[in-house]
Structures are given as structure tokens and as C-alpha cells.
Amino acid sequence: MEETKIDESPDNGSQESETIKVKNNAIKQSYEDNTEDASATESTSFVSLKSQNTEKSSITTPSSTIPKHDSSDMNTDESDPLVQAKWEIIKAQLFEVPREPRPAYREYQNKLFTKHPWMKKKDVDYLQKLFTDPKSMLAKKQLKTLLNFHVYNNFTDDQKSRLLKLLPNCDLVPIASDNGDPIDTPRIEREYLAAGLDSYEPGISEPVSELDPKKVCPRFDFWLSDSFKDARWWFQTSIKYGYNTKNGVDTQWNNLEKFKTEVPKNWKRDDYEQEWGIGLSEKMGKKQIAGDSAHISLPEMTKAQIIRLDDTLKYKRQFKNMGITVLMDLKVVAINKSNGHLQLKLFKGEQNKIIDDIHNPTRLENEVLDFDGRVAKSSRPNGNAFKNFSIVRSEDYTPSLFEARKEYWAKTQ
């Protein structure tokens, strides 16, 4: 009770020191009384006890002097500097976590790839440069030409086994041909259906139980899946923008330690966004890979010169249930610089078609499918049209609009 009174009335400095002094005397007196000779008379002990009670009662605050608080007093003004200073002290006490020492950069380099006994120092140095130098081939080469089913099929059984262990079982299917084709290949599925057999359903029919590279392989759609494309894109982006350099690694380590040891402003909103994807501020969450890039429109990409005059756009989409794959080339023949809208020329054999005022990839996709004429509107499933168009500017630059948009987003952060 006394401590509450002192805290509420900081101006009574003299009263605080005087009260503490009396309280200490009472404690001292109690200790001295307890060390008195055991032969002391009952009356003396009674007088001593009465004296202690009198002193203790003198330091007790009467209930009438305790300030009364109504409900309005509980609404603390958080903008008050004194309140903010007190809250910072509380946070430091509640959330204080010791920072871990930053490991040597060499330790990080040793985890970038698997070292084999036959590797020489020059081999190790070359690979480390390949994975860390923003100007290395891996930062520029289109990785889909390096990471695909054809390349996988040329690996040794040992190499395949190591890769299969990195994939969840739901992404693995039985091999259905001597060429190592997965059982869910569209051609094989059509053959099964023609023979009256059921098509393979990953995870339901014949679940994979062993990782024998002669019996199982990645499913047909794995190399085209969003998860694999995102992982491939982030891998290349981390190299291209220096995430794996010493400065990049040190920066990431410092940011991680800061996140672990400090309570950021707006931590409630940030934590909600991390856990649930779309947060209180109605922005895409951090767990959705490059989700913030979704707000970048086709005209914005044109104005940023991601799409340029005379670029070739290649359209490719597989309609698995119909056994149809639509392929078509488009050329950018004009760009409206004021609004970023495109004029494109579509090529189908000897036939050509000009379409104007394109500012939405979904509309562009429907124009392509209408011109192709094989897939009716009622048979077109929903999808992200950004993923079905690729920019072809050179042999080494063929990203999809989806990948180019994410790269532009990452570059502007």
C-alpha cells in the first residue's frame, strides 16, 4: 500500500525517505528483540512486542489516504513520453534474449554444397564462386534449362536417390515406361483411359513407400509446379542480388538476431501477417512467396521496360483433361507510353491477327485461345495468366511474366 502511494505521488520525496527509514528501524528492532536472552520476563517481551506493533502501525498508510481510481484513470495515454519510457523498460525485461555471436563466413560457405573427397581446392573455390558471385552463370542462366526432367533422367541412380530424398512423397509417382516417364504423363494417362484403366492419382493409388530411382520419379507436373518454380526463382534471386555474399549473409544474420531479440513496432500486425497470410493492413503476408508483387499490373511492367517493343511473347498452356497443349507466338508491335497498353500480333501458322489495347493478361489469354479455336470458353479453367506467357528476348532471357514481375518486385524493395 505504501509503495502504491509513493508511485502515485512522486513529488513526496522526503516522505518516501522518511517512511523507508522508519520501516528499516522496525525490521532492525524486530531482529534485536528476537536475539534477547531467553530468560527475559513475560512482561518485558509483551512490552517489546507492543513497542514493535506501535512502530509498525505508524508506517501503515490509512485507507482514507489511498487515492481512489475510477474507470477513466485506467485508460492510460500511450502517447505520454513517461508511459512510453516505462513500456520500453518493461519490454527490455520481458523480451530480453541474448544475441548469438555471428559465425564466420567460411562456415556458411561450407554449407552451400556437398564436398566430395575427389574435389580439389580449385573445384571447391569454383563452386563457391558459382553460388555466391552475383555475376555468376547461375545468376543469369534460365534455370529451367538446367533443372528439368530431361536433365534429371541423365543423372546416375545415386544422384537421383539423393534428389528424391529432398522431395515429399506426394511429389513422387511410379515409373511407367522404359524411358523413365512418370505414370501421370498425359500420353500415358490417355493410353490408360483408352484401355479402360483408371488414371493414377498421386497419394491415393499405389502410394510411394520406397525411394528406388528405378521404380519412382518426380511426378510429371512437378517441374511445372508453382512450388518448384518459386524455389528455383528464390534460389537464383538470392545469388543475383548478393544474398550469399559475405555482406549479404552478415546483413541477414543481423536482421534475424534483431528480430529474435527486439520487439518491433507493430509486432502484432506483423506476426498476424506472417501466420495468416493476409494481415490486418490487408496486404499479402510474408509466407506467400513474393506475394506483394501481385499488385504490379501489366501496364506497370511495360512502363518499367520489363516488356519492350519487338519482344516476343510465347504462350503455352496444357489442358490436361482434353489432351490439348496450346502454343502460340505473339510480338509486341506497339506500346502506348502514356498508359502502358500493348498492341500485339498473334501468329498461327500462316494466319495473323492484331489485337489492341491489351492491359490485362487474362484478356490476352482469352484472345489467344479464341484465335486458336480448340478450347471453348466453358472448358477453360481459372488460372494465373501471368504464368502462361514468357518473354523471349534472347537465348538466356526467357522468364515468364510471373517470374519477371516477381524479379521486378524484389529489385525495388
Q: Where are the domains of the chain?
A: 135-241, 290-411
Rounded to 5°, the CA angle 238-289-235 comes to 25
Pairing of strands 216-218, 312-319: unpaired
Q: What is the pTM of this model?
A: 0.46
Q: What is the pLDDT of residue 221?
A: 80
Our separate counts of H helices and E strands in the chain read 16, 7
| Percent helix, percent strand, percent coil in the chain, to nearest 5 | 50, 15, 40
Residues of the chain with pLDDT under 50: 1-24, 26-28, 30-73, 277-290
Sheet with 342-348, edge to edge strand ranges: 351-358, 342-348, 324-335, 312-319, 389-392
Mind listing the pLDDT tens digit for each residue in 194-213?
888 777 766 555 666 778 89
Residue 119 vs residues 111, 113, 125, 155: alpha-carbon distances, Å: 15, 12, 10, 19
Beta-carbon contacts of residue 152 (< 8 Å; ≥ 6 apart): 160, 163, 217, 218
Distance CA 171, CA 25 (A): 77
Burial class (CB in 10 A: 0-12, 13-18, 19+), 244: buried
Distance CA 367, CA 360 (A): 11
**Rg of the Cα trace of the chain?**
36
Q: What is the pLDDT of residue 169?
A: 79
Mean pLDDT across the chain: 75
pLDDT over 90 percentage in the chain: 16
Q: What single-letter amino acid sits at 279?
A: G
Distance CA 375, CA 371 (A): 10
Distance CA 234, CA 323 (A): 32
Q: What is the pLDDT of residue 280?
A: 39
Q: What single-letter amino acid sits at 340?
A: G
**Pseudo-torsion of CA 378, 381, 384, 388, nearest 10°?**
-90
Distance CA 132, CA 239 (A): 6
